[in-house]
Amino acid sequence: MSAATLPSYSVGTGHLEASGVLSAVPLIPRNLGLAVLQAYRTVVSPLYGDVCKYYPSCSAYAVGAVQQHGLLKGSALTAARLARCHPWARGGVDDVPLHRHFRHELTRYGFVVPSTDEASVGSSPRKD
């Protein structure tokens, strides 16, 4: 997942500090899901080309959903998005609904790490 292939709100400047390793343990399932999505976006997605009617693409939507809401709810949001994607869909912009109290940071590769800045706790990475 490079910054060039994800919406700007799906990447950040966060990094994992040694002091935050224990607080990162609950984020392991989320980041494993993001690693699977990264592999899909690197290997399979380019084979399809630019065919999505929505922005961001379904795989980029999945990344944002898992980042914001975790693996289970993010997967459910992605399944709902895939159900909306059919030949008769109008398409258009369909951003991930933001988590109301997102308290993590995103790395430049799109992975989720614990926040190191107390001021950013509860803030959202997307500016509307």
Helix (H) and strand (E) counts in the chain: 4, 4
Cβ atoms of 34 and 111 closer than 8 Å: yes
pLDDT tens, residue by residue, 30-72: 999 999 999 999 898 888 877 888 988 899 999 999 999 999 9
Type of residue at 61:
Y
Instruction: Provide the mean pLDDT of the chain.
Output: 83
E strands, the chain, in order? 54-55, 92-93, 104-106, 112-114
* pLDDT, mean of residues 75-80: 96
- String of DSSP letters for 97-120: PPPTT--EEE-TTS-EEE-S-GGG
Q: Give the confidence band of 109 by pLDDT, cuts at 50, 70, 90.
A: confident
Backbone angles phi, psi at 71, to 5 degrees: -70, -45
pLDDT of residue 1: 47
Q: What is the dihedral angle through the alpha carbons of 58, 61, 62, 66, rounded to the nearest 10 degrees?
A: -170
Residue 105 predicted with pLDDT over 70: yes
Name the more confident of 117 and 101. 101
